[in-house]
């Protein structure tokens, strides 16, 4: 399919100066969301993540059990949205969360670099889904994007979408820190949506530059414009470097300002993080909490 031609239906991205001005505007507004209600919502939107070389069946089981125990420990709070792990641990998490509403997210498709054979990517996704993944996070081929091979980048996403069953949520990571410019970030976001993404996600968290407010603004504007053209709501996920309750409130405010209150639901907004959950609980409770 000629995905590249679809880009001409959309206006170009804002300039870097215009993006910076929009970020400055929203940062001023974000202080209004430094409150417990927002922190509690942000917690419910977290994909609680462990993606390290130290992960093992034992450690991931304990990690997942801790998340499950949260239901009893903090019954007044909504639990995190999902647990995000490597594909080989999907079944491990499934055993731990069985009987709870907890969703299972698996990175897949050659995460984090996406530099392997397409057949390998497809098989990894299919196996993760077969083992019980509710959501799949893949990385768009950044090399294709940087080389201007937009049809190839989007076609690969579309082919990998086919490995997910209809009820599986597909999040496409554009690795905004590698794309750098507003124009490439916008194009990658739109191409992902054309190709069947349910969410566009900022980052893997595995390169130097992860989520930034600037990338979030560009991505949310692309989601807004896509919705205006198609009527289809696509989710936004900020991942990598979201550590404090104030960070979470800033991304909340970006979504609120650009996409509106109807996007402020875990079905359309997520935060991928390993540390922010404790900081959100601490902000809610008014004391330092190290639960996760």
Is position 36 annotated as part of the catalytic site?
Answer: no
List of residues 6+ apart from 5 with CB closer than 8 A = none
List of residues 6+ apart from 174 with CB closer than 8 A = 140, 142, 145, 185, 188, 189, 192, 200, 201, 202, 219
Determine the Cα–Cα distance for residues 127 and 124; give it in Å rounded to an integer.
Answer: 5
Is position 229 annotated as part of the catalytic site?
Answer: no
* Under 8 Å between Cβ of 286 and 248: no
Tokens standing for residue 27: 């940062």
Is position 201 annotated as part of the catalytic site?
Answer: yes
Determine the Cα–Cα distance for residues 60 and 78; give it in Å rounded to an integer.
Answer: 21
| 181 burial type by CB count under 10 A (0-12 exposed, 13-18 middle, 19+ buried) | middle
- From 121, 171, 187, 237, the catalytic residue: 237
- From 47, 121, 201, 247, the catalytic residue: 201
Determine the Cα–Cα distance for residues 218 and 182; give it in Å rounded to an integer.
Answer: 6
- From 137, 171, 198, 247, the catalytic residue: 137
Query: Exposure pattern of 136-150 as b/e (b: 16+ CB <10 Å)?
Result: bbbbbbbebbeeeeb
Determine the Cα–Cα distance for residues 42 and 254; give it in Å rounded to an integer.
Answer: 13
The set of catalytic residues is: 137, 201, 237
């Amino acid at each position: 399919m000629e995905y590249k031609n679809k880009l001409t239906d959309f206006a170009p991205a804002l300039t870097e100066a215009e993006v910076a001005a929009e970020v400055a505007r929203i940062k001023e507004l974000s202080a209004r969301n430094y409150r417990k209600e927002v922190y509690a919502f942000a917690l419910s939107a977290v994909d609680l993540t462990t993606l390290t070389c130290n992960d093992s069946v034992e450690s991931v089981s304990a990690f997942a059990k801790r998340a499950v125990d949260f239901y009893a420990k903090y019954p007044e709070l909504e639990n995190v949205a999902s647990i995000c792990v490597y594909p080989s641990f999907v079944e491990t998490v499934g055993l731990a969360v069985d009987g709870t509403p907890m969703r299972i997210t698996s990175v897949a498709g050659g995460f984090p670099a996406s530099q392997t054979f397409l057949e390998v990517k497809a098989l990894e996704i299919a196996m993760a889904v077969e083992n019980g993944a509710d959501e799949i996070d893949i990385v768009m081929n950044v090399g294709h994007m940087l080389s201007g091979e937009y049809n190839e980048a989007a076609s690969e996403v579309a082919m990998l979408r086919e490995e997910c069953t209809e009820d599986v949520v597909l999040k496409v990571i554009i690795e905004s820190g590698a794309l750098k410019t507003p124009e490439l970030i916008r194009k990658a976001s739109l191409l992902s949506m054309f190709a069947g993404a349910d969410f566009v996600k900022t980052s893997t968290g595995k390169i130097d530059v992860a989520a930034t407010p600037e990338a979030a603004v560009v991505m949310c504007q692309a989601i807004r414009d896509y919705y205006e053209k198609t009527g289809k709501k696509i989710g936004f996920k900020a991942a990598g470097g979201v550590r404090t309750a104030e960070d979470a409130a800033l991304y909340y405010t970006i979504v609120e300002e650009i996409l509106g209150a109807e996007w402020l639901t875990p079905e359309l907004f997520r935060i991928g993080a390993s540390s922010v959950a404790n900081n959100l609980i601490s902000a809610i409770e008014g004391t330092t909490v190290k639960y996760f």
